[in-house]
Chains A and B, each alone.
Chain A
């Protein structure tokens, strides 16, 4: 009986292949979307790790996260250097990394910080930043590029770059008097670090000397301030935010409280993990829309299968009558159609998953390079197995329709199909 079913399928291979492909592509889309969603979410959650708190001027926690981590938007207020110094000296604090934002380079954010940034900042599973080439900045006019910046702009070590004052479309005035030298390029991380130009706080202070009014003063334009590496740079008057690592997680809420109640300035400290999930919540609608579309495509795929099976059935009435004449029971006719559909579904699902893995394998380098999305080739998750099982179950339930019809037809037709 199985041999008959297989031969029959082979005989109708064009329709069968198309049906198979419909199921396979629907499954590919459904599981692919799910995979991309979880990976994107994971990648997103991986942006910051090892940092206990982020401190900035008081604003919304999502906004603070957006500008201090994702370099999106700008700070409404800065933190005074003295406040930073005072909070960094707290006995619960293990380390702090100050960040100063505001300038840009060809649309990429420029971040002023200290060499501690490269020592303490972590992403993904507590992975430290690594240099692909060169070294961390040590002099005032040194710059360390994120992987994407170097790749997209085609920069090499030793090249000189000019920073732009401010960011966005309106940023036109350039710090052309004080170019920076690229001394290091970071390895890709899949986080906003890849899209950042890192310079020292001193560097930022230096290029903004004489810019207190918002544009270059006569002194700044004259070039007197430029190119003097040995010149002593005073500490900046303020920074945008700072990352905090605590000695022990038990001090977390106590320290957060003392930041929030800091008397001299209105500041706030956020837990990056909490803020990240708040931010992800904002994207839920898009996420759900994607899932909805994928599920819908699967339903369409299954309906396509149903159509193909029902259409094929009429042409197979003769086949059924012959089988009946040699003694096939009606339930065997039912089982023939059911078994055939089950085979189609299982092969379709297997093919879909095969295609997914082939696609993941092929697109991995592109996804990582262009979208900074690090997709692992892992075995299907529990949820994915559940999706596949559900697809099979729904498919089998649907296939009872043509099977039942075949059963009825073979009863009614008997040996004389018309």
Chain B
């Protein structure tokens, strides 16, 4: 298993009740999972736990066999840098870096991903160019980020999340700023690139229309036992 959660409970400091209570949640290597989570269902909390930003009060989270709950903050950061790609809802890019440098950012914090990118394409920069070409952004390599449309920015974020072939890509509502047509095109590109390097996908969205693209779908409110009372 790529990712395994068991009996996880998490409550934010000062909150009376837990925000998240999950008996079990698994993700296999290379799997594509759609997690349907409307706002207030504990979505942000789950993502903070999966990326190792937060640590649950109880339970186990295993990423590639490493127990995140037993690791220190910097160790979790290290694991995230090596094995996770992350795409935000929007504003994914550092405005003062070029498109290419934004993509290469992932390799700056992980030697493993630098090595993998080098194995795959010859050098991190070569893989960045390859990914950007595949995402139809070859003409924008040295452009300032501000000159790009929202859709283009999301695709740059995709390239950054995928460079160095991480095992898992987590996307948090990556298409909510796109219209329907570009949304489907984005998902197709995402799958296309992820497949090429065996990266598993966990996409969280409140929009159930995306679900049919995926191998499997789950509803977060259904599996989160704390959801009914949650306020967040």
Contact = CB atoms under 8 A, between A and B. Distances in A.
Contacts of A11: 95-96
Interface stretch (A144-152, A182-190, A328-336): A328-336
B94 A325 contact: no
Greatest chain B CB density within 10 A among A7, A319, A321, A325 is at A325
A326 B93 contact: no
Contact of B86 (A10, A329, A415): A415
A5 to B, nearest CB: 10
Interface residues of B, number: 31
A415 B74 contact: no
Interface string B78-118: 10111010101001111111000100011011100000000
Contact of B109 (A326, A331, A416): A326
Contacts of A378: none
B86 A325 contact: yes
Given A1-B108, A331-B74, A415-B53, A325 B97 contact: no
A126 B110 CA distance: 69
Nearest to A322: B94
Given A4-B97, A10-B96, A11-B95, A326 B48 contact: no
A174 to B, nearest CB: 76
Contact of B80 (A10, A321, A327, A416): A327
Interface in A370-405: none
Contact of A414 (B53, B91, B96, B109): B53
B106 A322 contact: no
A8 interface: yes
Interface in A310-363: 318-319, 321-331
B78 A7 contact: no
B77 interface: yes
B141 interface: no
Contacts of A416: 44, 47-48
Given A322-B93, A325-B80, A327-B106, 6 more contacts: A4-B105, A4-B108, A7-B96, A8-B94, A325-B51, A326-B86
Interface of B: 44, 47-48, 51, 53-54, 73-74, 77-78, 80-82, 84, 86, 88, 91-97, 101, 105-106, 108-110, 160, 172
Interface of A: 1, 4, 7-8, 10-11, 318-319, 321-331, 414-416
